[in-house]
Structure 1
Amino acid sequence: MTGPVLERLLADETQTARLGEDLALSLRAGDVLALKGDLGAGKSTLARALIRALADDASLDVPSPTFTLVQSYDTRIPVHHFDLYRLASAAELDELGFDEALTQGAALVEWPERAEGYLPRTTLSIELVQHGEGRLARLSGQAAAFDRAARSLAMRGFLERAGWGDARRRHFIGDASARSYEIVTLAGQEPRVLMNSPRLVLGPPVRDGKPYAVIAHTAQSVTAFVAIDRALKAGGVSVPQIHAEDQDQGFLLLEHLGSEGFLGKDGEPVAERYAAAAELLAMMHGRTWPQRLQAGPGSFHEVPPFDRDAMMIEADLLVDWYVPAISSGPPSEDLRSGYAREWNALFDRLQGSEYTLMLRDFHSPNIIWRDNRAGHDRLGVVDFQDALIGPSAYDVASLAMDARVTISPEIEKKTRDAYVAARHAAGAFDEASFLEAYAIMAAQRNSKILGIFVRLEKRDGKPYYLKHLPRIRDYLRRALSHPALASLREFYNTHGLLEERTL
C-alpha cells in the first residue's frame, strides 16, 4: 500500500493505549484498520484500548480473538475484531462475514498479511515495531480513514501543547456539519470540551459562480467562533471560556458548560427554560453589537449580513431537495419562478425590521441549562460561529419552533410572549413589526430545514433526520397562518408542499 506515512514513538504501554484511544475517536463505519507487528509488539494492547474507548468502558473485557477468529462489540460505532493468525486462506474471510461486518461497523484486523489482497484499498495500516525500550508506530494509508487518523493525532498534539497531553478523550457530540466535539478529562481538573472544526470545504459553484456556503455566509474557519465567543462574553452572555486555541488547524479547548438541556425527565420541553432563553435573546437584542469582531492580535472577523441572496439560497433548499423527494422528479420552472417571486415579496417586507447579531441556530441543542446559576447565567450558549447580522425575529423563531423538539402551540406562544414582554419592559418596541418578521423568518427557516433534512439523508447518508419532517411541516403551517403570508400559504397549498408525506 502506498500513500503518506505517519510515525509516532510509543515509550510504554500507556502511550500505546493512548494511540488506540486517538484512533477510536477517528473511526467511522466501513473503516478497516490493519494491525501489523510481531508477537508481543502491542497489537492487542492497541486494539483493547481502541475498543474500550469506543465503548467508554475502561474495564470492558476484550479477549483475544485468536481462537474465535472474530469478536464483535456493540459500541458507539460497532467494531469487529478479527485475528487472522489461524486463517488458512483469504477466502475464509467470507465465511467470517467480513464484508457484512463492514456494512454494520468497522473492522480491526490482526495479522492482515494472511489476507493482504482481500482487504480494501482504503485500509489504514498501523505497524508496530520494536524501538529501543519502546515501540515505533507507523501509520499509512491513502484514503479518508488515514486523513481522519492524522487529524486525531494532530488533536493529541494540540492537547500536549495545552498541557493536556495525558487527557482521556471521549466522543461528546457531532452535528450536521463536519464539526465534532469531545469531552477530555485530566486528573485534578474540571472536564473540558475539545472542539474539532476543520476549515469548511466550499464545494462546487451553485449560483453566480459561487458555492452555496459563500452565498449563505457559512463560517469557513474556527476564527468566527473565537471572535463571536469573545464578543458575546463581553456582552454578558454565558459562552465557553477558550482555554487554548489553534485557529490554523481548527482546534479549541473549551470550558465545559454542562450537559443539561431543555427537556424534562419525561422528554417534554420545559416551558420555563424556553421562556428564560427568550428573555436572554431580548437582552441581547437590546444591545448594539459591532460587525467587526476581534479574534486575536491583528485578527478580525467581519460578521456577514443575512442578505437577500443568503435568505433565498436557504429557502431554495426546499425546492432543490424536498420537492424532488416528495414528487419523484425535479421541480418545474413554473414552481421555481413562482416560489422565488413569493419569497422576494416577503423579503421586501423585512426591510423595515430590526436587525441585530443573529446567532442563526439558537435552539435547544445549542443551549445548556444551568439550574445552579441565576438570571441569564442559567443559560450557556455553545454554537454560534455562523452568526449573521439579520432580523432579530429569526432567533426567536429558531427557539420557539425548535427543530429537534416538538413545541406545542402553547409553549411557542409562551416563549414568544416572554420575549415581547421583556422587550417592552426595556423600552420602545414595535410588536406588530416583530410578529410579522417572526412569521416570515419562521417560514423561511422551516422551509430551509425541510430541504436540509432531506439533503442529509440523500447526499450525506444520515436518514435519522427524516423523522423530524412532520414536526417541521407543522411549524411551517403555523408560520404561514400570519396574514402577511397569505399569498405564500396559498402557493404552498396549491403545490402540495404542506401535505403529510412519508419519504
Structure 2
Amino acid sequence: MTSIIIQLATPEDTTRLGEDLALALRKGDLVTLSGDLGAGKSTLARGLIRTIADDNLFEVPSPTFTIVQSYPELRLPISHADLFRLTSANEVDELGLDEALEDGAVLVEWPERAGDIVSASSLKVTLLNDGDGRKALIEGEAAALSRLQRSLAARTFLAEEGFATAERRYLLGDASARGYETIATGDGSPFILMNSPYNPGGPVLRDGKTYMQIAHLSQSVTAFVALDSLLTSRGFTVPKIYAQDLKNGFLILENLGSEGILDAEGAPILERYEATVRLLANLHQHSWSKDIDLGEGISHHIHDFDRDAMMIEVELLSDWYVPRMSGAVLEPAQKTEYVVAWDKVFSELNNTEKSLLLRDVHSPNILWRENETGINRVGLIDFQDAMIGPSAYDVASLIFDARVTVAPELQDHLLAAYIDERRSADRGFDETLFRKAFAIMAAQRNAKILGIFVRLDERDGKSFYLKHLPRIRSYLDRVIVHPALAPVKQWCEKAGILSSEI
C-alpha cells in the first residue's frame, strides 16, 4: 500500500497539513485520525475544518462529549467524530456517519474504538512522535491519495516560490479538472493559485482523437500562459503570472479581485455587461497570430474553431440532453439526421468574420475594476481554450449567459451596443452577416451547454448544473427561429425538444 510521510516540526506545520488535506477532500471521503493523546489530532482537525469554512476564527469545539459535531453549512459539509468515549463498536451505527458521507466528508478521531466498522477509510492519518517533533503517516485509497499528493505538490510549488507558509483557501473549481485557490501571505498580498494538471483527454472517440482533441480544448497550463501573454500585449486586462511550473501545471497569478458584473441578487448590471460587450468589439478589431512562442522551445498554437470542433460540441445535445429528456437513446438514423442538419447550418458560416474567441466570456469569468477606465475596467480570466473562429461566438456567450437570466430586452440592447461599437470603428462591418453568425453561434453554444450540464450530472455527479437547463433551453428557443437555423429547428421540433410556442 502506498503511503505518505510528512514531517511536522511545529503545530503550525500540523495546521498546514490540515489545510492541504481539506483542499484534497471530496464528498464521500472518510478520514481517520489516529495517535496518542496530545499528538496533534485536534490541531489537524481544526486546521482542516477552518480551511473548508474559510474562517480562521471558526468555532471548532471538541466532539469528545457530543461524539459527533456536524457542520452542514460548509462548502463541503463535515461531520467531525471523536470515538474515545464509545463503550462498544456497535454504537457507531447510531452516529449517522454513513448518511453524512452521502452529503459531505467525515473526520473520525480514535477510529480504533470502532473496530473494523470504520476501517474502510479514504485516508488514514496516523500522527507519531518523532524525536523533537512529529510526523504524519498517511495511507488510503488510491484516488484519495492521488488527490492529496496533488495538494501536497501544490504546497511544494508554493514553498519553492517563497510561499511556504502561505494560507491556502478554496476559491472555485470549474467543469474541468482545474481548481483555483486564494493564497494569503504574511504581508497580506493576495494571489491566486491555479492548479491545472495535464489532462490526457479521456477515451478516443473518432479518428484516433479524444473529445478534448477534437474540440481543441487545452490540456495543459501552457495554453493559459500563452494566451495571457498575447492578451497582455494587446492591452487587455488579464492576471499577471508571478510564477509558473508548466510541467506540473501550477501557476501563481495576480488576484484581480472578486467584484463581478452581477448585482447582490445575481442579476446583470447593465453598465458592466455593456462595457464587456464593447471590449469584445475592441478585441475583434485586432488581427491575431495563431502561434505564440514562449521561449525555451515552448510554443502554443491557437486552433481554428473548425467544423469538427463545432460538431462534436453540438453532439453533446443529441448524446446526453435528448436521451435525458426523452428517456431513450437516439436511433442511428436520427443521429445522422441531426448531424446533417447542423452541417447545413455550419456551411452558412463560410463568409463569416473570424477573430480570437476566448470561448467562455460569461459572468463567472469577468471581473469588474471600478477604479479603472475604458477596457481596463473589465478583467478577463479562463481563456485557455481560445480559438480562431466566428467573432460572434463570444458575443453570444455573453449575451446568453448560461448562469444568469439575461432578459430579451437587455440581450437586444447589448447586441445593439456591440454593433454600434463595430460600426463606429469599421465602416466595412457587415451587420447582416454578423447577425446570422450570432444566431448560429448562440444556438451552437446553447446546444452544447445543454448536453454538457446533463453530462456533468450523469457522469460526474455534479447535479447543481441542472438548475440552469430551463434558462439555456429558453435561449435556444429564442435564437433558433433565425432562417439560417431552419434545418436544426426542424429536427428539434421533430424530436420534441423545443417550446410549443416556437
The one-character-per-residue Cα deviations of 1:146-169 (angstroms, maximum 9, x if unpaired) are 111111111111111111111111
Spell out, residue by residue over 1:439-486, the C-alpha distance to the aligned partner (whole angstroms, 9 max, x if none): 111111111111111111111111111111111111112211222222
Measured against aligned partners, the alpha-carbon deviations of 1:278-308 in whole angstroms (never above 9, x if no partner) come to: 1111111111111111334321011111111
Gaps of 5+ in 2: none
Note the C-alpha offset of 1:122: 4.8
- CA-to-aligned-CA distance 1:66-115 (integer Å, 9 cap, x gap): 22221112322111111122323332211111211211211111122233
Give the letter aligned to residue 498 of structure 2.
Answer: L
Tell me which residue corresponds to 1:313: 312
In the alignment of these two chains, the number of paired residues is 498
1:481 paired to 2:501: no
Report Cα offsets for 1:388-422 as digits up to 9, x if no partner: 11111111110111111111111111111111111
**Superposed CA offset, 1:290-331 (max 9, x none):** 111133432101111111111101000000001111111111
Hey, what does 2:217 align to over in structure 1? 218
Correspondence list, 1:178-189, <5 A: 178-189=177-188
Q: Is the 8 A contact 2:477 2:499 kept in 1?
A: no
Q: Output one character per residue of 1:419-450: Cα deviation in whole Å (capped at 9) or x when no partner.
A: 11111111221111111111111111111111
Once the two structures are superposed, residues 198-241 of structure 1 have per-residue CA deviations (whole angstroms, 9 ceiling, x without a partner) of: 11142112223322111111111111111111111111110000
Question: 1:307 corresponds to which letter in structure 2?
Answer: D
CA–CA distance in structure 2, aligned partners of residues 88 and 54 of structure 1: 31
SS at match of 1:20: helix
Q: Distance in 1 between matches of 2:4 and 2:103?
A: 28
Q: Alpha-carbon deviation of 1:184?
A: 1.1
- Aligned-residue offset at 1:120: 5.3
Kindly provide the amino acid, as one letter, of the partner of residue 464 in structure 1.
F
Q: What corresponds to 2:124 in structure 1?
A: 125
Matched with 2:351 is 352
How does 1:158-237 map onto structure 2 within 5 Å? 158-237=157-236
- CA contact 1:36–1:111 (8 Å) conserved in 2: yes
- Give the stretch that moved more between structures: 332-341 or 402-411: 332-341
What is the aligned partner in structure 2 of residue 24 from structure 1?
Answer: 22
The residue aligned with 1:41 is 39
Q: Which amino acid aligns with 2:77?
A: P
Q: 3-state DSSP class of the match of 1:305?
A: coil
Note the 1:412-431 alignment, pairs <5 A. Answer: 412-427=411-426, 428-431=428-431
The corresponding residue for 2:58 is: 60
Cα deviation for residue 493 of structure 1 reads 1.5
Q: Distance between the aligned counterparts of 2:76 and 2:292, measured in 1?
A: 39
2:470 corresponds in structure 1 to 470
Matched, 1:114 2:84: no
For the residue of structure 1 that corresponds to 2:89, the secondary structure is: coil
Task: Judge conservation of contact 2:127–2:134 (CA < 8 Å) in 1.
Answer: yes
Greater CA drift, 114-123 or 471-480:
114-123
1:276 Cα deviation from its structure 2 partner: 1.0
Asked if the contact 1:271–1:414 (Cα under 8 Å) also holds between the matched residues in 2, the reply is no
Separation of aligned partners in 2, 1:61 and 1:342: 59
Aligned to 2:395: 396
Aligned partner of 1:144 in structure 2 is 143
Contact 2:18 2:45 in 1 (8 A): yes
For residue 345 of structure 1, report the CA deviation from its aligned partner: 0.7
Q: Secondary structure at the match of 1:26?
A: coil
Secondary structure at 1:437 match in 2? helix
8 Å Cα contact 1:192/1:254 also seen in 2: yes
Is 1:100 the counterpart of 2:106? The answer is no
Determine the structure 2 residue equivalent to 1:303. Answer: 302
Q: Contact 1:122–1:145 at 8 Å: present in 2 too?
A: no
TM-score normalized by structure 2? Answer: 0.96
**Partner amino acid, structure 2, of 1:82:** A
> Letter of the aligned partner of 1:437 in structure 2?
A
Counterparts of 2:499 and 2:422, CA distance in 1: 36
What is the SS of the residue equivalent to 1:57? coil
CA distance in 1, matches of 2:222, 2:209: 22
Give secondary structure in 1 for the equivalent of 2:276. helix
How far the C-alpha of 1:490 sits from its partner, in A, is 2.4
Q: Would you say 1:496 and 2:457 are equivalent positions?
A: no
Contact 2:34 2:126 in 1 (8 A): yes
CA distances 1:20-51 after superposition (whole Å, capped 9, x unpaired): 11111111111111111111111111111111
SS at match of 1:459: helix
Q: Which AA in structure 2 matches 1:44?
A: S
The separation in 2 between residues aligned to 1:100 and 1:213, in whole angstroms, is 36
**CA deviations over 1:113-165 (Å, ceiling 9, x no partner):** 23352225452111111122211112222322211111111111111111111
TM, length-normalised to structure 1? 0.96
Supply the distance in 1 between the matched residues of 2:465 and 2:481 (Cα, whole angstroms): 25
2 CA distance for matches of 1:467 and 1:76? 18
Q: Is the 8 A contact 1:206 1:212 kept in 2?
A: yes
User: What CA distance in whole angstroms lies between the structure 2 residues aligned with 1:401 and 1:48?
Assistant: 43
Show the counterpart of 2:6: 8
User: What do residues 352-382 of structure 1 show as CA deviations (whole Å, max 9, x unaligned)?
Assistant: 1111211111111101011111000000001
Distance 2:265 2:118 in 1: 47
Look up the SS of the partner of 1:127 in the other structure. Answer: strand
In structure 1, how many angstroms separate the alpha carbons of the residues matched to 2:132 and 2:59? 27
CA 1:87–1:499 in structure 2 vs 1: closer, same or farther (change >3 Å)?
Answer: same
1:341 aligned partner: 340
Letter of the aligned partner of 1:6 in structure 2? I
Q: For the residues of structure 1 that align with 2:69 and 2:299, how far apart are their CA atoms?
A: 51
Amino acid at match of 2:478: R
**Offset at 1:187?**
2.3
Q: Give how far 1:57 is off.
A: 2.0
Aligned to 1:442: 442
Which 4+ residue blocks in structure 1 deviate beyond 4 angstroms?
A: none
Query: Once superposed, what is the RMSD of the aligned Cα atoms?
Result: 1.5
Give the Cα separation in 1 of the matches to 2:333 and 2:184: 56
**Contact between 1:224 and 1:295, CA under 8 Å: does it hold in 2?**
no
